[in-house]
């Protein structure tokens, strides 16, 4: 198979972080800065900033005094390398062999891949168009050698170099296209050798004596006369286990045996990486070509095989094997970090950190498709209906505190129910109220507590709340909507019950 390589160059990756997301900001003066002895010092500047006289080593305060419109961002060590790795993993959809080319590029071995896009030209157009759509300024070239692709991507015009034509493509390019050290490039320029063609046909021994081994080596690599090793990225394999069956499985016992084998393998891997699953799916590929699947969710990340087996056991009856299942696939669709030492430490202690509690909640939720178990956290709102929210997971920490300076009911009605109230004069507690046809004489009352409506969310009247107790010791939370008025009737509501 003919070897073909592609080089992708991101010109602004290391000096202009904003250009990574918005190409239109490439012309905006932009610098990266880092603290040095208590002052922010410029470490990188883009071309627009350098054109205005901003250079490396300047103090940011001095630079902004001269150029008020200067954009400044904190330099983060290793940012370009991390971003290139992410981009390289993204490019694996176009070829299985992708390597990071620091400081600002990627190398792709595209041998046997371009024909899937009907040629190398559409292949380049597809990759560059999608990268530019995501906000990257990018140049790309294809050649029969890594060095030639690298040179053409940065200094050439035609992005595609046909195999065997590397010499013609390299001759008009400057020596820097060979990835030489800056000192070697300077010596070549001083000798008048300003293009690769001016020394391409010189004897290797002469070049080696004058410029060292690096120049002949880079020439041979660019011309494809010497192989250049690359270290391809290896994506993290998904958390999936597959189990093919010698004979189709048709019984629930067989399904549970297959599930347990896959769970043990998956949980062993998760435990070794310090992770636990939150969402898992079991899929069965039947003999008739159809796929059946069931799924579970957990309240906290776990890699406990017995607990997961109990959750799946509730779902196994929903699997219809028909003529039999010949392939099982178990996938952990969502995983999270978990600390097994911490989990063991709190194992016998009651509270939210008790793993037995989360396992019990998972089993209760697995018995019905209706969400029946909730945990509520305080929310920063005055209006009672908005003063709490559902927790997304069992150990979520509240961002605020439950209000304790005023009485609040244990059970709050989702929609306040209208009641009939007998009250002596405005702002006095009611003496009696009627709810659903039953009269409740009031023996004790406290209030009013006025709660204003959150006008920025919805319009309406305020509420005056009263904490009352009837003659049977039952306590309620009542409120009057708005002020007393001669032109409208009084409106009272029951909003909650106290324990």
Per-domain boundaries in the chain: 1-235, 240-365, 411-497
Spatial strand order of the sheet with 71-74 comes to: 39-45, 30-36, 71-74
Least confident span in 301-310, 412-421, 486-495: 486-495
Give the helix ranges, DSSP H, for 32-139. 47-51, 60-66, 79-91, 120-133
Q: Is the pLDDT of residue 346 over 60?
A: no
In this model, does residue 141 exceed pLDDT 80?
A: yes
CATH class of the region 1-235: alpha beta
**CA 198 vs CA 25, 212, 335: distances in Å:** 38, 17, 58
Looking at CATH, the fold of the domain delimited by 240-365 is given as Dna Ligase; domain 1 (3.30.1490)
Q: For the segment 281-318, what is each residue's pLDDT rounded down to a tens digit?
A: 999 999 988 999 999 988 888 888 999 999 999 888 98
Q: How confident is the model at residue 343 (pLDDT cuts 50, 70, 90)?
A: very low
- Taking only the tens place, the pLDDT of each residue in 426-468 is 678 889 999 988 999 999 998 888 888 887 888 888 899 999 9
Question: How far is Cα 255 from Cα 233, in angstroms, rounded to an integer?
Answer: 37
Q: How far apart are CA 372 and CA 364, in angstroms?
A: 8
Long-range CB contacts (within 8 A, 24+) of 278-282: 278/334, 278/335, 278/336, 279/332, 279/333, 279/334, 280/308, 280/330, 280/331, 280/332, 280/333, 281/330, 281/331, 281/333, 282/312, 282/315, 282/319, 282/328, 282/329, 282/330
What pLDDT does 350 receive? 56
Could you tell me which residue, 382 or 465, shows the higher pLDDT? 465
pLDDT value at position 368?
59
Q: Are 15 and 26 in contact (CB under 8 A)?
A: no
**pLDDT band, very low/low/confident/very high, at 341 (cuts 50, 70, 90):** very low
Which tokens is 429 given? 């507690």
Whether 345 has a pLDDT exceeding 60, the answer reads: no
Nearest in space to 306 (alpha carbons), one of 347, 260, 273: 260
| pTM listed for this prediction | 0.51
CA–CA dist 169, 306 (Å, integer)? 64
pLDDT at 23: 45
What is the spatial distance between Cα 362 and Cα 109, in angstroms, rounded to a whole number? Answer: 47
CB 496 within 8 A of CB 413: yes
- Under DSSP, the state recorded for 224 is T
> Is the pLDDT confidence value at 339 over 70?
no
Joined together, the tokens standing for residue 258 give 């297959």
Q: Model confidence at 106, in pLDDT bands (50, 70, 90)?
A: very high
Looking at the DSSP bridge assignments, the partners of residue 479 are 465, 493
Worst-scoring range by mean pLDDT, 42-56, 194-208, 387-401, 459-473?
387-401
Angle at 183 between CA 194 and CA 81, to 5 degrees: 105
Percent helix, strand, coil in the chain, to 5, is 30, 30, 40
Kindly state the average pLDDT of the residues 372-383: 79
Which pLDDT tens digit goes with each residue over 253-286? 999 999 999 999 999 999 888 889 999 999 999 9
**3-class secondary-structure state, position 362:** helix
Q: Is a pLDDT exceeding 70 seen at residue 241? A: yes
**Tens digits of residue pLDDT in 153-176:** 999 989 999 988 999 999 999 999
Rounded mean pLDDT of the chain? 84
Between the CA of residue 405 and those of 323, 402, 445, 454, what are the distances in Å?
Answer: 65, 9, 17, 20
User: In this structure, are residues 138 and 149 in contact, taking their beta carbons and an 8 Å threshold?
Assistant: no
Query: If you ran DSSP here, which 8-state letter would residue 230 be given?
Result: -
């Amino acid at each position: 198979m003919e070897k073909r390589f592609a080089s992708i160059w991101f010109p602004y990756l290391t000096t202009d972080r904003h250009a990574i997301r918005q190409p239109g900001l490439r012309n905006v003066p932009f610098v990266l800065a880092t603290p040095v002895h208590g002052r922010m010092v410029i470490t990188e500047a883009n071309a627009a900033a350098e054109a205005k006289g901003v250079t490396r080593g300047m103090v940011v305060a001095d630079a902004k005094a001269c150029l008020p419109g200067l954009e400044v961002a904190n330099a983060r060590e290793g940012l370009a390398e991390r971003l290139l790795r992410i981009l390289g993993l993204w490019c694996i959809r176009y070829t299985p062999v992708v390597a990071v080319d620091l400081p600002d590029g990627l190398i792709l071995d595209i041998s046997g891949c371009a024909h899937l896009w009907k040629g190398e030209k559409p292949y380049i157009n597809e990759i560059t168009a999608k990268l530019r759509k995501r906000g990257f300024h990018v140049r790309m070239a294809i050649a029969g050698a890594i060095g030639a692709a690298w040179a053409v991507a940065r200094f050439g015009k035609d992005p595609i170099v046909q195999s065997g034509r590397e010499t013609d493509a390299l001759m008009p390019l400057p020596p820097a296209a060979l990835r030489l050290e800056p000192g070697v490039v300077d010596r070549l320029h001083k000798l008048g050798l300003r293009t690769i063609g001016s020394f391409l046909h010189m004897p290797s021994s002469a070049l080696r004596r004058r410029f060292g081994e690096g120049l002949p080596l880079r020439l041979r690599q660019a011309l494809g006369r010497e192989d250049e090793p690359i270290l391809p990225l290896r994506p993290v394999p998904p958390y999936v286990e597959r189990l093919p069956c010698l004979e189709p499985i048709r019984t629930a016992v067989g399904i549970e045996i297959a599930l347990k084998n896959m769970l043990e393998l998956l949980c062993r891997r998760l435990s070794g990486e310090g992770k636990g699953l939150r969402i898992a799916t079991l899929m069965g590929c039947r003999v008739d070509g159809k796929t059946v699947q069931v799924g579970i969710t957990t309240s906290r990340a776990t890699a406990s095989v017995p607990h997961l087996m109990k959750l799946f056991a509730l779902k196994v009856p929903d699997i219809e094997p028909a003529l039999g299942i010949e392939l099982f696939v178990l996938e952990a669709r969502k995983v999270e970090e978990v600390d097994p030492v911490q989990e063991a430490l709190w194992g016998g202690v009651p509270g939210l950190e008790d793993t037995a509690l989360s396992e019990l909640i998972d089993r209760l939720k697995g018995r019905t498709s209706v969400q029946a178990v909730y945990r509520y956290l305080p929310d920063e709102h005055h209006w009672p209906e908005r003063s709490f929210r559902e927790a997304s997971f069992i150990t979520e920490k509240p961002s605020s505190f439950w209000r304790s300076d005023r009485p609040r009911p244990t059970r709050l009605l989702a929609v306040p129910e209208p009641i009939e109230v007998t009250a002596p004069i405005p702002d006095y507690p009611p003496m009696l109220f009627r709810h659903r046809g039953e009269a409740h004489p009031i023996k004790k009352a406290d209030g009013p507590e006025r709660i204003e409506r959150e006008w920025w969310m919805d319009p309406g009247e305020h509420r005056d709340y009263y904490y009352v107790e009837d003659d049977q010791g039952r306590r309620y939370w009542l409120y009057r909507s708005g002020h007393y008025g001669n032109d409208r009737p009084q409106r009272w509501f029951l909003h909650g019950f106290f324990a």
